[in-house]
Amino acid sequence: MRTFDSDALECLATIVEEGGFERAAVRLSVTQSAVSQRLRALEAQVGTVLLVRTRPLRPTAAGRLLIKHAMQMRLLRADLESDLQDLAPDSDAPREEDRISIAINADSIATWALPALGPLVSDGLPLEIITDDQDFTHEWLREGQVLGCVTTLKEALRGCKVLPLGAMHYVAVASAAYAREHCPQGLTPHNFRQIPFIAFNRKDDLQAEFVGRACGLRQVHLSQRFVPSSEGQVRAVLAGWGASVVPELQVRRLLAQGDLVNLAPRSTLPVKLYWHCWNLPSAAIDRLTAALAAAAAQALDVQTKSA
């Protein structure tokens, strides 16, 4: 069985994460020439190209396999660092390049996920959170760039285990002033085309799905504006940009205060979330799984009961 130089593997993973050779060199504290040499040596050993030199850089199929291996090496180092920390509390902190990456949808980050991860970060876990739409976070795991993800995908990916987290319920909201002027009757099959909806990005289909469900329509075409931030979407709605479909958990206080209005109080859109992670014996994975499961059980169960 072939063995690969750990520095070269880390170099490949860092190039993809940082989006280029120059930034990878800065992060690894080496020269750009050294980064190129390590990559060439690794490609020569494997016998194939590992990166497609496009913008952004993309790993080939072989590159994705080696990146996944590099991530597993990071996980092993994180577990070792944790064990050593227990034995020798004054030992060095983890290296910055040994970060543990997970992918979480933006709405979970804005509501329940960060408090769950806080204690792990305080204990020294070198965590990196990558955000994407909940229907696409699993692609980061599939490509081996993260060790776990919160996603809507139910079926376990190859080599991974899956844990149901619960359902997050979404509601359609607008500012009180906007609702009075533009949709005093709320959301109806007759006015939704005139209401701009604030979506996370072009991959976000929650807005159309909610409107179709609330209005009893199979297909809807919306006028949309895009704000790639869960908190930003809410701020845009408060500023009168239009309406948006957001987690009820996120806007519960604003609804109670009257700053926002529920445009379809009889309708909610439940989105079931799942935690996927590598099926490996790892203290870091176990701690992440336990923390996220406990927080989701509390926050998302409350959502389910209130809907």
Say if strands 196-199 and 127-132 run parallel, antiparallel, or are unpaired: unpaired
Domains with residue ranges and CATH for the chain: 1-96 (1.10.10.10), 99-307 (3.40.190.290)
* Residue 107: how many other CB atoms lie within 10 Å: 25
Q: Enter the tokens of residue 24.
A: 């990878």
What whole-number distance in Å separates Cα of residue 138 and Cα of residue 280?
A: 17
* Residue 22: how many other CB atoms lie within 10 Å: 12
CA distances (Å), 17 to each of 22, 52, 230, 265, in order?
12, 14, 23, 42
Degrees to nearest 5, angle at CA 129 with 126 and 132: 165
Q: How far is CA 14 from the centre of its chain?
A: 19
What whole-number distance in Å separates Cα of residue 187 and Cα of residue 278?
A: 42
What is the dihedral angle through the alpha carbons of 82, 84, 90, 95, rounded to the nearest 10 degrees? -60
- Model pTM score: 0.74
pLDDT digit string (tens) for the chain, length 307 residues: 678 888 898 899 889 888 889 988 988 888 999 999 999 998 888 888 898 887 778 888 888 888 888 888 888 777 776 666 655 445 455 555 567 889 999 999 999 999 999 999 998 888 999 998 888 899 888 887 889 999 999 999 888 899 999 999 999 999 999 999 999 999 999 999 999 999 999 888 999 999 999 999 988 899 999 999 999 999 999 999 999 999 999 999 999 999 999 999 999 999 999 999 988 888 889 999 999 999 999 999 644 444 3
H or E element: which one contains 128? strand 127-132
Say if strands 269-278 and 160-175 run parallel, antiparallel, or are unpaired: antiparallel
